[in-house]
Structures are given as structure tokens and as C-alpha cells.
Structure 1
């Protein structure tokens, strides 16, 4: 009987640890996605500022 109780407690501890790991995984993925979006946005705006002739509106007017 004691072994069953001990196994149940161990299982709950492992589950709590998994929940914490999953929470940090989700937080890490969200931060990574946000940083990639910021990097893409900043890179796009810097490219438009440094190379304005590739602006889609100007390219369409020049054609």
C-alpha cells in the first residue's frame, strides 16, 4: 500500500516538473517569435531607408 502511495506522489512531482518545463518552453517560443518578427521588421525598414529605389511604389512608377 505504501508503495502505491509513494508511486502516486512521485508521479505528481514529475507532472509538476513537466508543467514548469512546458511553461518555460512556451515562454521561450513566444519570445523567439517576437524577436524574429522585430528583426524582420527592422531589417525591412532599414533596407527601405538605405536603398529607396527598391521601394515598390517607385519601381511601379518607373516602369
Structure 2
């Protein structure tokens, strides 16, 4: 019965597939953006720490 329903209504299947693909793509893009944002923040924090350590060394010397 389900196979007959699926085979008779291709628009529903296409709509479901398009919805699933769009959700997957949006999730992947948001995950990639979040990951790149975290990496960028980590790099900025690491650079500022390195600079502050360098400034402290200059003050000590």
C-alpha cells in the first residue's frame, strides 16, 4: 500500500527529498559557519595572548 502510494505520487516524494536535502544543506552550512567562527575566535584569542605575553616580556626586560 505504501509502495503504491509512493509510486503514484512522485510530487510528494520529490517534495520530501527536496525538503530533506535543503535541511541537510542548511545544517551543514550552519555547522561549517559555526566551526569557522570558533576557529577564527580561537586564532584571535591566541594572537592576543601571544601579543600580551610578548609585551610582558618586553616590560620585564
Over 2 Å off, 4+ runs: none
In 1, distance between residues paired with 2:25 and 2:45?
Answer: 30
- String of CA shifts for 1:8-49, please: whole Å, max 9, x gaps: 210110000111111111111110111011000000011111
Q: Which runs of 5+ in 1 are unaligned?
A: 54-63
Stretches of structure 2 that go unaligned for 5 or more consecutive residues are: 1-7
Partner residue, 1:13: 20
In 2: Cα distance, 1:19 partner to 1:11 partner = 12
**1:36 and 2:43 aligned:** yes
* Count of residues in Structure 1 that have an aligned counterpart in Structure 2: 53
User: Normalization by structure 2: what TM-score?
Assistant: 0.75
CA RMSD, Structure 1 to Structure 2 (Å):
1.7
Q: State TM-score, norm by structure 1.
A: 0.72
